[in-house]
Every structure is written in C-alpha cells, then in structure tokens.
C-alpha cells in the first residue's frame, strides 16, 4: 500500500532525509522512530502530500503522489502531531464538515461520522464545542477525522500524545483493529508503543536509516546489548554524572544511584581518563538490565549512523515482496 523509494529532502545545503526506501503493506503497522530532528516529520509530510517530494518516489496504493496527488491523498488518513481544530465548532459539526470535504455523499455522511465517533469513544462530547474539550478528547477528535473516510493508508504522528493510560490503551486497540484492512505508519517517541502495536520498525538518525526490520528483531537487541553500571561516592555522584554526560552525550542513563553505559563506552579509555583527572573514584557492575531506551540511544549515537548495521538488522522492509502495489 505504501512504497517509498530512494526518498531524499534538503533544506538549503542540509540533507534532512537521506535515501529512505521502505514498503508497508495492508496489515503492517510500522513504528517510525528517531531522535528529534532525525527527519521523521519531514518524511511523514512528504508521504501525506503536505510537502512535495524533493527526490525519489512515493506510491500510495500504486499511485505516484507526485504525478496524481489528488487520487493518492484520497487514500490517506493523516493525523498530524499538532493538528489545529476549529474551537467554536461542535465535534459533530466538525466531523460532518470533514466528511463533506472528503467527498462522502450526504446520505452516507451521518453513518460515517457515527462510525468514527464510536471508534474513538467520542459519544459523550459529540455536541460540545471543541474548545471546551480536554487535550485527550481533542486528540481523539483528530484521530476520528483521520479515519472518517475509511482510508487504506493511515499516517499517525504521535497518536497517543496527551492521552491518559486508559485512553492510550483504547487508541492502541483501535490501531490494531484498523490494521487488518489498513497500512499504518506511526511516528512516535514512545518505545513501549512500538513494542505493543507495531509489526515493523524503522529507526532514523540524522536523516539516515540505522535500523530497519521486524519489531521482534528490534526488541531482541534489548537482550543483546550489554551495559555496565557505574557507582560513585555520594559526594562525587553529580560531578561524575555531569562529566560523563558531557563526554558521551545521549549514551548515559541514570538508574537510581548508578549511571548505566553501553559496554563499548564503558571500556573506552577516555572514560577512565576523565574520571581520574577529576579525582573521582568508582566501582562497576555488569549485572544491570537493558531497556529499549538503551538500544535507541546506542543506535542513534552520531558515530553509529555512519557504520554498517549488524546482521540482525538487515531485514529490509523495502525488499519484502515483489509487487510495488502491495
């Protein structure tokens, strides 16, 4: 349903998206993750048609979005991260308006709105003005407009942002239900969301792909990555943390009274040198748990983005299947 081939984007001389290729088919939920500034939002905006394709090709249900944007966009449901909503319209009026703009006939419009309302649990606020709603309800209204026309492709940018744990569970269940007939891309910072609802993962850093494969292949890295926990005297703890976070930005994780680092950094001579120069003593333990946050930080370190990925990461989403229109 979604086929992206050699996608690139530049702002001036800076390349923010570099040669991205992937395929997402009906039944797939792709977790699209990466640090801030990695190129996720730019990519999503090009796939949705909000931004023009700078270089490369995007096919939506076999339709080239550059050559036939209107037909391609009819097949897309898009939930932006900070979607504006008309504050003085009721939820019902807004969804009817969206249905009309989507070209849903007058006779089918009421049912389309009711279906979206039920899916997003908006019955209680259907006749309230949008400006009176909580952030969580506003997010659900945005989700409802994205699925109103039952699109075969869904692009969701931070779909559970602002929702409480129960609402997040409801939206994740909805995503899993919709995925049976839909190809879905979810851009998110919540790694637990990737684990719970996604079937595939694409991780960007610096506009480049640093991991591409199944969710199972991604989560197994949690067991494969080895970390070391550093302990310091209480009076030296904050100084040591500041030194190591400045020396190895993005690679340190506080875990109670210890600082956790991947083994390749823990064994870096520069680490011991920095601590010794500051007169700091330490002890280490290799008996520490590793999280997906550690995997994320490890793969997105600046020096990692230029290196070849390990064998477990070579499952290429873009190479699965032969038919461009899948």
CATH code 3.30.70.790 region(s) in the chain: 226-289
Q: Tell me the mean pLDDT in the region 8-30.
A: 93
Cα 151 to Cα 146: distance, rounded to the nearest angstrom: 8
Q: Would strands 29-33 and 200-205 be described as parallel, antiparallel, or unpaired?
A: parallel
Cα 181 to Cα 179: distance, rounded to the nearest angstrom: 5
CA distances from 10 to 51, 69, 171, 204, 232 (A): 12, 21, 34, 16, 45
Q: Which of 35-39, 60-64, 251-255, 272-276 has the highest mean pLDDT?
A: 60-64
- Check whether 270 has a pLDDT greater than 60: yes
**Of the candidates 26, 322, 49, 34, which has an alpha carbon nearest to the alpha carbon of residue 204?**
34
Could you give the percent of the chain with pLDDT greater than 90?
59
Could you give the percent of the chain with pLDDT greater than 70?
93
What pLDDT is stored for residue 109 in this prediction? 94
Q: Tell me the mean pLDDT in the region 196-223.
A: 94
Cα 186 to Cα 79: distance, rounded to the nearest angstrom: 10
pLDDT tens-digit map of 247-261 = 888 788 888 888 998
Residue of 288 and 53 predicted with greater confidence = 53
Cα 161 to Cα 188: distance, rounded to the nearest angstrom: 9
CATH code 3.40.50.300 region(s) in the chain: 2-221+307-319
Q: Which CATH architecture does the domain made up of 226-289 adopt?
A: 2-Layer Sandwich (3.30)
Cα 240 to Cα 37: distance, rounded to the nearest angstrom: 28
Q: How would residue 267 be classed by pLDDT, with cut points 50, 70 and 90?
A: confident
Cross-strand pairs, 208? 205
Q: Which CATH class is domain 2-221+307-319?
A: alpha beta
End-to-end CA distance of the chain: 5
CA distances from 241 to 85, 282, 299, 305, 308 (A): 43, 11, 21, 25, 30
């Amino acid at each position: 349903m979604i086929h992206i081939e050699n996608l690139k984007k530049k702002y001036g001389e800076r390349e923010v998206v570099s040669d991205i290729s992937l395929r997402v088919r009906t039944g797939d939920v792709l977790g699209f993750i990466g640090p801030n500034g990695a190129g996720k939002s730019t990519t999503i905006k090009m796939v949705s048609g909000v931004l023009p394709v700078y270089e490369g090709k995007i096919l939506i249900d076999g339709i080239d979005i550059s050559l036939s944007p209107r037909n391609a966009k009819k097949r897309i449901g898009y939930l932006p991260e900070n979607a504006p909503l008309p504050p003085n319209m009721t939820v019902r009026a807004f969804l009817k308006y969206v249905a009309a703009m989507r070209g849903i006939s007058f006779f089918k419009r009421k049912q389309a709105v009711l279906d979206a309302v039920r899916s997003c649990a908006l019955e209680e606020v259907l006749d309230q003005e949008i400006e009176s709603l909580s952030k969580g309800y506003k997010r659900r209204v945005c989700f409802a407009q994205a699925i109103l026309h039952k699109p075969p492709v869904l692009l969701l940018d931070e779909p559970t942002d602002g929702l409480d744990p129960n609402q997040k569970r409801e939206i994740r269940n909805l995503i899993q239900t919709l995925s049976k007939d839909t190809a879905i891309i979810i851009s998110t910072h919540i790694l637990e969301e990737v684990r719970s609802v996604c079937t595939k993962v694409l991780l960007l850093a610096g506009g480049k792909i640093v991991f591409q494969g199944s969710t199972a292949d991604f989560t197994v890295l949690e067991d494969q990555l080895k970390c070391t926990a550093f302990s310091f005297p209480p009076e030296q703890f904050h100084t040591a943390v500041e030194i190591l976070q400045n020396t190895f930005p993005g690679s340190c994780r506080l875990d109670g009274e210890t600082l956790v680092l991947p083994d390749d950094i823990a064994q870096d001579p520069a680490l011991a040198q920095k601590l010794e120069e500051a007169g700091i003593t330490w002890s280490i333990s290799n008996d520490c748990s590793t999280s997906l946050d550690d995997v994320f930080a490890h793969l997105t370190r600046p020096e990692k983005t230029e290196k070849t990925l390990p064998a477990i990461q070579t499952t290429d989403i873009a190479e699965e299947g032969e038919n461009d229109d899948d």
